[in-house]
Amino acid sequence: MAPDRASSGPITHARVLKIALPIALSNATIPILGAVDTGVIGQLGQAAPIGAVGMGAVILASVYWIFGFLRMGTSGLVAQARGAGDAPEGGAILIRALMIAAAAGLAMIALQGGLVWAAFRFAPASAEVEGLARQYIAVRIWGAPATIGLYAITGWLIAVERTRSVLLVQLWLNGLNVGLDLWFVLGLGWGVPGVAAATLIAEWTGLGLGLWLCRDAFAGGAWHIWRRVFDAARLREMGRVNGDIMVRSVLLQASFTTFVFLGAGQGDVTLAANQVLLQFLEITAYALDGFAFAAEALVGQAVGARMRAQVRQAAVMSSQWGVVGAVLLAAAFWFGAPAVIDTMARDPAVREAARIYLPWVALGPLIGIASWMFDGIFIGATLTREMRNAMLLSVLVYGVALALLLPAFGNHGLWAALMVLNTARGLTMAALYSRVEAKAALPA
């Protein structure tokens, strides 16, 4: 099929921002939900329910996060299919991803006993908190297929530049969840199971809304030609892409977990200060995701259409906006973070420690932007093996930096090592960037 040139049309600043800004707004709503969950359950006037909801949510989020490869893998593969003008394949990719999501979600439901047992062996809690958290998980686990399925739907919507639909789904999820939280907990007095039930209903209705917004993927019916959906070569390619992304993501998460654990060895005050400052890095990731997602969609479409010049244009233009965002965030952190730190931490010692290490947080967006943008570029090109290998090398460099800097400089060395990790990620992928443009030059 001839390439759909409309899907690979001129790349402009307006087009980049049209993709990126709704994602930034969507991501901005995510922390609000956790705050509302905590605030509503906190109205019960007891500590245990708050801890139970937080612990249950973290346990499930940690497991769901493993399947985040469905979002990234679907985005890159669908963008390339769109660039090549192969709409039926875009629908088939979504169907394959939804099948994986359904299987993974059902497996989580079936294995929930072992999951909960392992979680509380790793992170023990009081009997009361554990009991309430088990109630929370027992309700929410039934939303696993929907939550994981939404990763696939989000990837498809990003690939076809429908990020306003992503924002709509997120607003629906959070808005309904908040409303049901208030009703179930404060109105009906359901307590912790009420919070879980609110999220469960939001997840399944969000999946329904997402499927409706993706209805174009199923137009014409060609997507359900099963010999296409189960084509061995395409299944292998999807497995390769998703497997590489999963390995890369596990390594990245392990790196941040190591940072947190090593920070704990610096004392309670330093641990608390690091935890406060890590919230700013989380904000950075949420805010700059939109530009990386724009790179995924635009680079992927250009690769699929075999338009090498547009690959470079997409990579450069989306990265330019990413740099602008990073500079603005760095300035905001430098000048505005002290007031936020005072709001987040009441302990004077924690406030003072956080201010000492604040320059690292201000530096974070400037150092990290290259790695985040290259992630989007390489996902769009589905050069996931290169991403995985770059991460492996970067983690090795990070380990060396920790071994050298932490004993010599303490917590400053810990933060410096984290900056080294992101620098290494950016440099290793920059060295491999030529393969992105080379892939666009290959015959279709």
Say which amino acid occupies 110: A
Are the C-beta atoms of residues 200 and 139 closer than 8 Å to each other?
A: yes
Note whether residue 207 is domain-resident.
yes
What's the average model confidence in pLDDT over 248-269? 84
Note whether residue 387 is domain-resident.
yes
Are residues 270 and 172 located together in one domain of the fold? no
Are residues 293 and 170 located together in one domain of the fold? no
Are the C-beta atoms of residues 141 and 109 closer than 8 Å to each other?
A: yes
pLDDT at 2: 38
Note whether residue 2 is domain-resident.
no
Are residues 28 and 102 located together in one domain of the fold? yes
pLDDT at 444: 61
Are the C-beta atoms of residues 296 and 245 closer than 8 Å to each other?
A: no
pLDDT at 13: 94
C-alpha 66/C-alpha 68 separation (Å) is 6
Q: How far is CA 120 from CA 59, 117, 134, 177, in A?
A: 9, 6, 10, 26
266 pLDDT more than 60: yes
5 pLDDT more than 60: no
Are residues 277 and 188 located together in one domain of the fold? no
46 pLDDT more than 80: no
Which element (helix H / strand E) includes 13? Answer: helix 13-28
153 pLDDT more than 60: yes
Highest mean pLDDT among 54-68, 202-216, 243-257, 347-361: 202-216
C-alpha 196/C-alpha 190 separation (Å) is 10
265 three-class SS:
coil
Are the C-beta atoms of residues 311 and 304 closer than 8 Å to each other?
A: no
pLDDT at 31: 66
Are residues 225 and 293 located together in one domain of the fold? no
Note whether residue 442 is domain-resident.
yes
Q: How far is CA 37 from CA 30, 42, 80, 138, 396, in A?
A: 12, 8, 39, 17, 38
Q: Which residue has the tokens 């924002």?
A: 167
Are residues 51 and 164 located together in one domain of the fold? yes
- Paired tokens of 440: 């666009």
Mind giving me the DSSP string for 62-122? HHHHHTTHHHHHHHHHHHHHHHTT-HHHHHHHHHHHHHHHHHHHHHHHHTHHHHHHHHHHH
Residues in Cβ contact with 239 at an 8 Å cutoff, skipping those fewer than 6 apart: none
427 three-class SS:
helix
Note whether residue 3 is domain-resident.
no
pLDDT at 176: 93
pLDDT digits (tens, 9 = 90+) for 72-123: 999 999 999 999 888 888 999 999 999 999 999 999 999 988 988 887 777 6
pLDDT at 275: 79
Are residues 434 and 298 located together in one domain of the fold? yes
Are the C-beta atoms of residues 327 and 383 closer than 8 Å to each other?
A: no
125 pLDDT more than 70: no
Are the C-beta atoms of residues 170 and 26 closer than 8 Å to each other?
A: yes
Q: Which residue has the tokens 């307006």?
A: 14
Are the C-beta atoms of residues 148 and 101 closer than 8 Å to each other?
A: yes
C-alpha 55/C-alpha 162 separation (Å) is 34
What's the average model confidence in pLDDT over 332-348? 84
Are residues 107 and 134 located together in one domain of the fold? yes
Backbone angles phi, psi at 111, to 5 degrees: -105, 15
Are residues 219 and 247 located together in one domain of the fold? no
Note whether residue 237 is domain-resident.
no
What's the average model confidence in pLDDT over 121-129? 73
What's the average model confidence in pLDDT over 383-404? 96
Of residues 272 and 372, more confidence is placed in 372
Are residues 344 and 266 located together in one domain of the fold? yes
Tell me which long-range contacts 164-170 makes (C-beta under 8 A, separation of at least 24).
164/22, 165/213, 166/22, 166/23, 166/26, 167/22, 167/23, 167/25, 167/26, 168/209, 168/213, 169/206, 169/209, 169/210, 169/213, 170/26, 170/27, 170/29, 170/30
Mean pLDDT over the full length of the chain: 88
Give the domain extent around 427.
243-444
- Paired tokens of 139: 């309700």
Q: How many domains does the chain have?
A: 2
pLDDT band at 271 (very low <50, low <70, confident <90, very high): confident
Highest mean pLDDT among 30-34, 116-120, 242-246, 344-348: 242-246
C-alpha 182/C-alpha 36 separation (Å) is 9
Are residues 444 and 371 located together in one domain of the fold? yes
- Paired tokens of 78: 């669908």
pLDDT band at 47 (very low <50, low <70, confident <90, very high): low
What's the average model confidence in pLDDT over 301-307? 93
What's the average model confidence in pLDDT over 349-370? 92
Q: Considering 230, 264, 280, which residue would you say is the last residue of a domain?
A: 230
pLDDT digits (tens, 9 = 90+) for 183-234: 998 889 888 899 899 999 999 999 999 999 999 888 776 667 788 888 888 8
What's the average model confidence in pLDDT over 320-325? 96
- Paired tokens of 413: 């060395």
pLDDT band at 321 (very low <50, low <70, confident <90, very high): very high
